[in-house]
Amino acid sequence: MQISNRIQSLAVSATLAMSQKSAELRAQGVDVINLSVGEPDFHTPAHIKEAAKQAIDDNFSFYTPVPGYLSLRKAIAAKLSRENGVEFAPEQIVVGNGAKQELCNVILATINPGDEVIIPTPAWVSYVEMVKLAEGVSVTVPASIDQNFKITPAQLEAAITPRTRMVLICSPSNPTGSVYTPDELQGLVDVLAKYPDIIVMSDDVYEHINFGAELRSLASFPELKDRVVIINGVSKAYAMTGWRIGYCAAPAALAKAVTKLQGQYTSGASSIAQKAAEAAYDGPQECVGEMRAAFLRRRDLVVSLAREIPGLKVNEPEGAFYLFPEVSAFIGRHAGDRTIASSGDLALYLLEEAHVATVDGAAFCAPGYIRLSYATSDDNIRESMRRIATALAKLQ
Ligand code: PMP
Ligand code: GLU
């Protein structure tokens, strides 16, 4: 069977692959604690589920408009105005099968072969692969734990070339949980103000899981007028990962291009899920704060337990639900005849020895780290950290 060069050159999604692996071990009866995939462990709030049931009874069973129901796009425009203080018309919003699809659509709709996309790293696994699909070039800008995983304006400026077409910012970040303060964003914006042709893509999917500083939307900076694309969705804020609804809010011409692309290969997103998402945006918002409070409690728990483990270097993430410890102290160590030559080996060792699934930092362009998702119960957090500590202590 011929598989195209385009697909052969793509990496498998490491987050999804590790989660699959841990599910397989579980099916074999192994008691694995899964800290690999990042998704809220809460159930979708009841009023959202009710709206979906109502949509079925009301016969929302036909093809949906390609960019999404107008009522949902109006609800998203109202959310952007209410929560983020930015104004987008419904015509500037395209709804699709998760934030993932809209990210990829925007990249495919803007990037020509050879165009450069600046990606601060550590970065979520799919960005680089999506740029590859568009035959663009990812220019990664590394920020280590010593700079709290945030790039500086000078680093951004040094990465810009005449071929730079886009910068991708994710705050709160997957996989580090780092959050840019409004002042730090202003520093990056001051650089971007000098380059009016660069599109700024702001991946806001973790905006509600933010424990510290006030968030400021990149779309609210006048210097970036008409060139910010907001990516967001209901997966993380409303515990709706399986419903697959996300959106982009973009300059009108780009929203139109994204709609054209979507019209040729997926059509509009699920009618029932869109009605559920509408209820999420228009309904009571207490559920969002309740989940954030639970994630904050777990953040404090996982950070305090991880800090007790000799050799792990841990910062304090200010958002999302990930911990991204540096593990280079363990590289080169041995357990019996097994050598840990990389963070990937360590993630595999933790899976096999401690039965805890994590993700290799290399998948996020940051070898030497591993990612732990703490979107799980307090008991699972305590038990997994105990297992990790025991397994790491065996490495000589
Ligand atoms: N961006 C980031 C940073 C993410 O972590 C995720 C979730 N994997 C997504 C986008 C995509 O989210 P979804 O497609 O579920 O809306
Ligand atoms: N946000 C999740 C993660 O990073 C979902 C899996 C994915 O789409 O990568 O683990």
How far is it, in rounded angstroms, from Cα 33 to Cα 383? 8
320 CA to centre of ligand 1 in angstroms: 11
Which residue has the CA at smallest separation from atom 1 of ligand 2?
38
Which residue has the CA at smallest separation from atom 5 of ligand 2?
38
How far is it, in rounded angstroms, from Cα 250 to Cα 212? 27
Atom in ligand 1 nearest the alpha carbon of residue 170: 3
Q: Hunting for tokens 């990465």 — which residue is that?
A: 159
The answer to whether the Cα torsion of 282, 82, 198, 226 is positive or negative is: positive
Question: Which residue in 75, 27, 119 sits closest to 366, CA to CA?
Answer: 119
pLDDT at 321: 97
pLDDT at 215: 87
- Residues lining ligand 2, Cβ inside 6 A: 13, 15-16, 37-39, 100, 124-126, 174
Which residue has the CA at smallest separation from atom 4 of ligand 2?
38
**3-state DSSP call for residue 330?**
helix
pLDDT at 119: 98
List Cα–Cα distances, 202 to 119, 332, 334, in angstroms: 11, 38, 42
Mutate to test the pocket of ligand 2, among 10, 12, 16 (most ligand atoms within 8 A of CB): 16
How far is it, in rounded angstroms, from Cα 131 to Cα 134? 5
How far is it, in rounded angstroms, from Cα 162 to Cα 76? 35
Question: Which residue in 70, 59, 122 sits closest to 361, CA to CA?
Answer: 122
pLDDT at 18: 87
Question: Which residue in 77, 70, 105, 81 sits closest to 274, CA to CA?
Answer: 70
Contact (CB, 8 A) for 192 and 167: yes
pLDDT at 8: 95
pLDDT tens-digit series, residues 301-352 = 999 999 999 999 999 999 999 999 999 999 999 999 999 999 999 999 999 9
Asked whether 371 lines ligand 1 (CB < 6 A), one says no
pLDDT along the chain (396 residues), means of 10: 95 87 90 93 97 98 98 98 97 98 98 98 97 98 98 98 98 97 97 98 97 90 97 98 98 98 97 98 96 97 98 96 98 94 95 95 97 97 98 96
pLDDT at 319: 97
The answer to whether the Cα torsion of 41, 46, 51, 55 is positive or negative is: positive
